Chain A
Amino acid sequence: MSLVETHALRKYFPAGTGFVSRLFADKKVHAVDGVDLTIDRGQTMGLVGESGCGKSTLGNLLLRIHDPTEGTIRFNGTDITALSGSELRPYRSEMQMMFQNPQNSLNPKHTVGKILRKAIEFHDVAHGDKATELARQYLTEVGLRPEHVDRYPHEFSGGQQQRIAIARALSVDPEFIVLDEPVSALDVSVQAKILSLIEDLKNEYDLTLLFITHDLNVVRHVCDEVSVMYLGEIVENASTEDLFNDPYHPYTRALFDSITLPEPGELSSGGIQGETPSPIDPPSGCRFRTRCPDAVAECETVNPELVERERDTSAETRDTACHLYDPLDR
């Protein structure tokens, strides 16, 4: 059963920030442009793409940090798209987030104990001494020591700060956590520890995760399913194993060609040429056509939908948005 579901979700930002450009907001950044995403309960969904593709905005939309321009978001069957701040509050404890910058995601003026206790008491998980006790417990859970409650965030290393951020997210007992590049700012040896901690906690607390990242190596190890995003749209969606064994969409293939490994040798040829077009004025038709080696005439006029498509050479079908593959007749 799906826990989080979006339908035709869109988010446009005004392109300028000044007074005048807001009044005459004709230019808009198409950050998220018609996304249907389904995350099943208990799943770790990977959301990958290059910077500016809208993956972070999508994560923020799911948690209603931004209000969507169009479309719907369902959480656990309920439409939460239009809920107001106070109506949303019960859902807040169900959905949490973890951020990229460890030193930036914890309020420097609060002790770790206060950060955790405040969240616990606010959502009525526990109060008073019990809340403190719970805060200590969560710190132990993420591999820190209970006496760390009295310390300030800057007294910890980057990896430890990310652990505290995890503890804060866990402390309200959520079902769903959006992880926005949670390990990108960390050293590799620390990254490995945080990844294994996330894995352990996911199993222990039956969490559903949306793992936003640009690092495909990490995705392979962490995610069950992957959605690939390009210029505000999802272009391919498949189970991690299928996707890595056989990427369909030319963009996915190009992304895979760009993955680097610590293996000596020349740079292999391939990779994506050119740069991502501006999201203010995205290309007509398929958005990847300007960089796609396989583009045909149809790509210029019709934007392919993300539907199940079949491939001649394989029996398998796959959700992908590309004219190279024929949609499955339903």
Chain B
Amino acid sequence: MMSVLQVDGLHTYFDTENGIVRAVEGVDFSIEPGEIVGLVGESGSGKSVTASSIMNLVERPGRIAEGTVRYDGQDVFDLSKSELQDLRGGEISMVFQDPMNAFNPTQTVGRQLHDVLRTHRNGAVHPVKRILGLDHDEDCKEAVVEMLDAVGIPNPEARYSDYPHEFSGGMIQRAMVGMALLCDPKLVLADEPTTGLDVSIERQILELFNDLVEELNTAVLWITHDLSVVAKLCDRVVVMYAGKVMEVGPTDVVLSDPANPYTEALLDSIPRYDRPDEEIRVIEGDVPDPLNRPDGCRFADRCPKVHERCHDAHPPQYELGDREVACYLAEEGTK
């Protein structure tokens, strides 16, 4: 089966006055249909830049220096602007961290969903027609109400004509999820969609995603800094650090038995209420300066298991069972 998304050797650089910031330096991973993949990293790891590179949304002074992103076998970087736009609206959709900003505050939520679906089904309409409301399509409205219901918004008929500010934080995020799934996309890019929400609401959104994605067989790339969200939601996880992929593999294996010392350190630094007597682990040192990264393994300076060779070159991805690990320690496991 062909992957929904295949990222190969992606390098995204930013040309600044002080030199080239290598935000993303060789990222490879793929997403299969119906799979939820978590892209995890701390700030500065390059996870957000990876996401915008996938959508070809990198703006100057940033540029994609190398690599390919294939969506359904088609190279995203070869598409024209309008082809790309069609792709973004229909087959790839996005869920953002701040849904209040993603909705137009002057139009009702229902109307905005309606427009997305209508445009997807029947193509764009003349703006004058839109302003006069002549593009109204009863079928689309019905589908939107159904979707609002499916994402768990109570009383969807009535909420259809509510404005974004009349929704609570949890509800507007549900509506955003509804909008993302409306055109039956093959891939959803979710950029920290639950960051900033209360735990109870976050949980409701995670449940919603779990159910809907299973039902619709949509693939999801879930970008987050939160490993606990990944643990509950994702089938596979990509761990990034300083522009490099450190470890890729099935979530349960990676989180229960991390093979890269960085993944391990990251896991240990999360405080856990069920282990009150365990000290929270502190990773010594800081994330390397993106202008001046070490030649060797990006994590070498902070790694407790560092060897001599780690300082020479960043390790390649070693296959270890069904995961790939960028660490020399994993080399023995390759056979």
Contact = CB atoms under 8 A, between A and B. Distances in A.
Q: Is there any pair of Cβ atoms, one from A and one from B, under 8 angstroms apart in the complex?
A: yes
Interface stretch (A12-20, A78-86, A185-193): A185-193
A255 B203 CA distance: 11
A316 interface: no
A264 B255 contact: yes
Given A187-B225, A260-B229, A267-B207, A192 B282 contact: yes
B203 A271 contact: yes
B74 interface: no
Nearest to B206: A267
Interface string B244-276: 000000011001100000000111011111101
Nearest to B281: A192
Contact of B225 (A188, A216, A261, A271): A188
A189 B263 CA distance: 11
B271 A50 contact: no
A262 B255 contact: yes
A105 interface: no
Interface stretch (A67-75, A217-225, A281-289, A322-330): A217-225
Contacts of A258: 199-200, 202-203
Question: What is the interface of chain B mostly: helix, strand, loop, or mixed?
Answer: helix
B43 A271 contact: no
A222 to B, nearest CB: 8
A50 B266 contact: no
Interface residues of A, number: 41
A280 interface: no
Nearest to B273: A220
A195 interface: yes
B42 A265 contact: no
Contacts of A155: none
Interface in A204-220: 214-220
B265 A275 contact: no
B39 to A, nearest CB: 15
A308 B207 CA distance: 37
B286 interface: yes
Contacts of A188: 42, 225, 227, 266, 269-270
B173 to A, nearest CB: 11
Contacts of B267: 262
Contacts of A214: 198-199
Nearest to B201: A275
Interface residues of B, number: 44
Given A189-B42, A255-B199, A275-B170, A267 B255 contact: no
B271 A220 contact: yes
B146 to A, nearest CB: 22
Nearest to A215: B271
Given A192-B280, A195-B280, A50 B198 contact: yes
A263 interface: yes
Interface string A249-279: 0000011101111111111000111010000
A235 B287 CA distance: 41
A301 interface: no
A244 B280 CA distance: 18
B317 interface: no
B231 interface: yes
A157 interface: yes
Contacts of B225: 187-188
A261 B266 contact: no
A265 B251 CA distance: 9
A163 to B, nearest CB: 12
Nearest to B210: A267
A158 interface: yes
A104 interface: no
Nearest to B262: A189
Interface string A43-81: 000000011000000000000000000000000000000
A189 B265 contact: yes
Contacts of B204: 271, 273
Contacts of A187: 42-43, 225
Given A192-B282, A192-B283, A265-B232, 8 more contacts: A51-B198, A188-B225, A192-B269, A260-B199, A260-B226, A264-B251, A264-B255, A265-B231
The 10 closest A-B pairs by CB, nearest first: A264-B252, A260-B228, A187-B42, A262-B227, A220-B273, A50-B198, A272-B200, A192-B269, A258-B199, A189-B283
Interface of A: 50-51, 157-159, 187-193, 195-196, 214-221, 241, 244, 254-256, 258-267, 271-273, 275
10 contacts: A188-B270, A189-B282, A216-B273, A220-B273, A258-B202, A260-B226, A261-B273, A264-B251, A264-B255, A266-B232
